[in-house]
Amino acid sequence: MHGLGNDFIVIDAMEKEYFPTPDDARRLCNRRTGIGADGLMLVMPSKKADLRMRLLNSDGSTAEMCGNGIRCFAKFAYERGMVRSNPIKIETPAGIKLAELTVKCGRVTAIRVDMGEPLLDKKDIPMKGEGVCRLETIEALGREFTFSAVNTGVPHMAVFGEVTEDDILKYGPALERHPLFPAKVNVNFINVEPDGSISVRTWERGCGRTLACGTGSCAAAVCASMAGFTGRSVKVHLALGELLIEWAENGHIYMTGPAEEIFEGNIK
């Protein structure tokens, strides 16, 4: 499945337990010798919610949360009859998330997810230092960038200013591993458009360059709003489409966007 090009192997683990290892994730997500994906996702039973989501990145590391992934998760589970409630309560390592579905003729056409409140304090990102990270400077490979940082389920950096695709591939890995971020960080390169929308390109922790990042789009919208570049409701342009991100007055972030199934098969 994919959410605006951010793709996942989604496995039904409701009745048959399956605990993939990091090596399993790396093998299956390999785009030349495996199925190929940014991550390996399991749909599992939950004692706290309707369902439980577990996600391994393509490098085998565990992801606490994934915005594009949770939309795929919700569509997969609903359309296969694993759950009939709407909205769906989904247990993740980043807490229970609520996914509200738009359904037409039994098919899920859009998903609106309550992503919770962003964590703004540096210690909660986690990031070295104190207070809120708003429009600070950071250096990587001899170049200085202006950025803000938040946690939207996972740590994110929002880098403002013009960059090329080559810049993303060069500086993304260096910023991901910058010593300011002890747990590493996702890196989102943001352009603020004249109409108040934003364009986002992401270097994702544990995956590398991805076509879209849901938690990153949420983080980019929050950081752009905090900086005064946009309002609290922001249209986010990604390579293959758009997300609507709302940072509501109650402090919660609401992400609305699509998810698509590509193909189905069996893993031996």
The catalytic residues are 66, 213
Residues 6 or more apart in contact with residue 161 via CB below 8 angstroms: 145, 146, 189
What are the E-state strand segments in the chain?
2-3, 6-12, 39-44, 51-57, 62-63, 88-92, 95-104, 107-116, 133-140, 143-151, 155-160, 186-192, 198-204, 208-210, 233-238, 241-247, 253-257
At CA 52, angle to CA 50 and CA 54, rounded to 5?
A: 165
Distance of alpha carbon 124 from alpha carbon 118, whole angstroms = 10
